[in-house]
Structures are given as structure tokens and as C-alpha cells.
């Protein structure tokens, strides 16, 4: 079985092409298994929370090995580092965070992140709310106008 790193290296050749959702899910499964420690368990838990918050979310595998969850655009990523599992919200600066989950990348104009360290407890309800808010922001303005709205925009003549 190929490691996530080897899969990522092979994907480098195909970076311009999207990875099929089934393949992305398999790559994420492999990454979780390969980590084999608290980071793998944390990434698996984050993934579970993301899917509970939005059952229609699409899993992607981008940037040579980063799990990405999208719906109407990128909602968040699940990066793993030696000392942290990082959830980066693509449009996090535009989101309300009443529970104060964002604790990283706070200075940016667009993104915000949540660094989860070994032993940290994640407020699942607050995280689901944040994911749903990111989804709503992605979908805002993407719906097609109703026939009545289109008709009202016509000039009388």
C-alpha cells in the first residue's frame, strides 16, 4: 500500500487535474492511518465533525497532500504538522466566531485557522456552527434569481 507521501508525490505530476472525490477520500483515509498517532485521530475527528455539519461537503486532496472540504468553494482544510492539526477556513476573517475557536492566522485579511494541539478538546457544537457559517458564506449569492426577480429587472418599454 502506498503512503500518503508517495501518493502526494505521484499526484504532483497531475496537480492541474482535480482528484476524484472517491480518490480524495481514500487519500485522506491513508493519511489518517499513516499518521498513526494523536494527529491521525484528531484529523479523523475533524473530518467526522465536518461531515456532520454538512453531509453534502465534498472531500478534495490538494497541494500535494492537504485534505480540503468544499461546498460552493473551499470551506476549510485539515493540515497536519508535527505539533498541531490545523483547520484553515478559506474565508475565516469574514466569519463571526462567538466561541473564540480561531486561534491562528488572526492577522490575515482573508483566512483564519484553528490550531488543535495534542490533548485539546474541540467544542464540536461551536465548530459545526463555524463550518455551517463558512458554507453559508460560500453559498451566499450563488443561487439563481427567481423568475419574478428576473422579470422585475426588465425595463418597461
Which residue ranges form the domains of the chain, and what is each CATH number?
Answer: 4-137 (3.90.1150.200)
Range list of β-strands (E), 43-119:
58-62, 66-70, 74-80, 85-89, 112-116
Residue 152 above 90 pLDDT? no
Specify the pTM: 0.78
Instruction: Compute the average pLDDT of residues 70-95.
Output: 97
Q: Convert the pLDDT of each residue in 89-126 to its tens digit.
A: 999 999 999 999 999 999 989 999 999 999 999 999 99
Residues 124 and 49 sit within 8 Å (Cβ to Cβ): yes
Which of 2-6, 20-24, 132-136, 141-145 has the lowest average pLDDT?
2-6
Confidence of residue 144 (pLDDT cuts 50, 70, 90): low
* Pair type for strands 66-70 and 112-116: unpaired
Amino acid at each position: 500500500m502506498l503512503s500518503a507521501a508517495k501518493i502526494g508525490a505521484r499526484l504532483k505530476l497531475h496537480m492541474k487535474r482535480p482528484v476524484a472525490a472517491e480518490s480524495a477520500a481514500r487519500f485522506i483515509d491513508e493519511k489518517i492511518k499513516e499518521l498513526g498517532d494523536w494527529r491521525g485521530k484528531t484529523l479523523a475527528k475533524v473530518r467526522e465533525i465536518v461531515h456532520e455539519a454538512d453531509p453534502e461537503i465534498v472531500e478534495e486532496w490538494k497541494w500535494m497532500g492537504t485534505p480540503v472540504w468544499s461546498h460552493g468553494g473551499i470551506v476549510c482544510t485539515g493540515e497536519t504538522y508535527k505539533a498541531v492539526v490545523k483547520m484553515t477556513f478559506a474565508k475565516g476573517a469574514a466569519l463571526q466566531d462567538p466561541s473564540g475557536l480561531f486561534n491562528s492566522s488572526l492577522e490575515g485579511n482573508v483566512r483564519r485557522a484553528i490550531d488543535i494541539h495534542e490533548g485539546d478538546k474541540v467544542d464540536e457544537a461551536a465548530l459545526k456552527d463555524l463550518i455551517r457559517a463558512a458554507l453559508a458564506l460560500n453559498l451566499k449569492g450563488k443561487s439563481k434569481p427567481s423568475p419574478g426577480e428576473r422579470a422585475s429587472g426588465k425595463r418597461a418599454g
